[in-house]
Amino acid sequence: MTHLTKANKILSVYYRTEQRLCPICHTLLKRDHILWHKQVTFSTGAKKLVSWAYRCPGDTCPGPKDVFKSLKAESVHLKYRRFSRELVVRIGYQHFWQHQTMYEIHDWLTNDLHLSISEREIAYVFVDFLALLSAAQPARIRNKLGGLQWLIVSVDGMQPEKGNDCLYIVREIQCGVTLLAVNLEESSQNVLCEQLFEPLKSLAQDFGLPWRGVVSDAQETIRLAVAQSLKGVPHQACQSHCLRDAGKLTFEADRAMKKELKASFRQALPRLRKRIQALPADDPFRPVLLDYTGAIHSVLPEGGVAPFELGGIRVFDALEDLAASVIRCQKKGITSCCAGSLLW
């Protein structure tokens, strides 16, 4: 039930229990008292929410006088928070999936949605969003693991900088769900056994799933911990890590070639740009040549990812394409003869 409060123009929403009859005597439940009421901010604006408590009115009912409440009302808001779950999820999505900063999100909320919220409150909403994700993860794990016949997990440790905690992430490879994510101050064999593999063994036991294999980057402490905690379980080194290590020499040679290409072009581009800018303003070739110099400048920072995405090769191929384009333009008379000095 909803209505608009005339005094402050805030929409009021009243919730009643979805349970209409007493589960014991099947008497129609009667409204008893207000369980809670609060003003909650949604993406569409503020609303006043009121949740009514219901009880069985029958004096002869043998059941306890339990309070029945609206499950929908409980799912709309977060306790002790003034923002709806819907708004918390939208803010979390903008930050963690769209990679927007706190200040960009604040501008979006205040200017586009016209909501009253401070930058500090947005930081608190980020924490609430992560708490919602954490609370939903066990149910997601149950749904994903329910159709499996065995477990094959990957273990990877990520340490942003030396001296900081290492984040260990364990994923089930068949369904892609994250089973565990733990920050560890040390990565010794005993710590990994206690903090990683013992909880994983308990999880596998709860679901009755046997172990089929473990994949990791072959870190020594991980190998020893797997051998100690999961005896007899096959342990394979990650193919991506192996290929990256195998292609290290090729990747380093490609990086050196890219460095030489960038150095040679960056020395010549400023001089070439000055020559082009010195052409008369009404020269039809002038804007075309400036576009080519801009294209070359944008190509040079092209990067690579080991082991197969070689940045130097990508820069070289892009420069060859630009050179072929310049030659075609010269043949058609679209550019002047000085265009050849762009790439040669």
Instruction: Tell me what the mean pLDDT of segment 177-190 comes to.
Output: 85
Report the DSSP pairing between strands 45-55 and 11-15.
Answer: parallel
pLDDT digit string (tens) for 57-109? 888 888 778 899 999 999 998 888 899 999 999 999 999 999 999 999 999 99
Any idea which residue has 């803010």 for tokens?
Answer: 91
- Model-level pTM? 0.55
Residue 208 clears pLDDT 80, i.e. is over it: yes
What is the predicted pLDDT for the residue at 335?
A: 55
What pLDDT sits at residue 17? 92
CA gyration radius, the chain: 32
Query: Distance (Å, rounded) from C-alpha 168 to C-alpha 120?
Result: 29
Please state the domain extents for the chain: 2-136, 149-240, 247-342
Please state the length of the chain: 344
**Residue 309 confidence (pLDDT) above 80:** no
Find the Cα–Cα–Cα–Cα dihedral 226, 231, 234, 239, rounded to 10°.
10
Report the pLDDT value the prediction gives residue 8, as an integer from 0 to 100: 53
| 96, HSE (Cβ side, Cα atoms, 13 Å) | 15
How much is the average pLDDT of 320-337?
74
Q: Residue 129 in contact with residue 137, Cβ under 8 Å?
A: no
The pairing of strands 151-158 and 178-184 is: unpaired
Three-state DSSP class for residue 80: coil
Q: How many CA atoms lie within 13 A of 50 on its CB side?
A: 14
Cα–Cα distance measured from residue 247 to residue 235, given in angstroms and rounded to the nearest whole number = 23
Contact 240, 246 (CB under 8 A): no
pLDDT at residue 344, rounded to an integer: 47
For residue 101, the model assigns a pLDDT of 92
Residue 320: burial class (beta carbons within 10 Å; 0-12, 13-18, 19+): exposed
For the chain, give the mean pLDDT: 84
262 vs 111: which has the higher pLDDT:
111
Question: Average pLDDT for residues 109-127, to the nearest whole number?
Answer: 91
- Of residues 3 and 133, more confidently modeled: 133
| pLDDT at position 318 over 90 | no
Residue 248 confidence (pLDDT): 76
Torsion angle of C-alpha atoms 283, 285, 287, 292, degrees rounded to 10: -160
pLDDT digits (tens, 9 = 90+) for 239-294: 777 777 777 788 788 888 888 888 888 778 888 888 888 888 888 888 888 888 88
- Cα separation, 123 vs 130, in Å, equals 11
Greater confidence (266 vs 48) lies with 48
In the predicted model, is pLDDT for residue 338 greater than 70? no
Averaged pLDDT, 28-55: 92
Q: Does the pLDDT at position 48 exceed 90? A: yes
So what's the pLDDT on residue 6? 46
Chain mean position to CA 230: 31
- CATH number assigned to the domain covering 149-240: 3.30.420.10
pLDDT at 333: 66
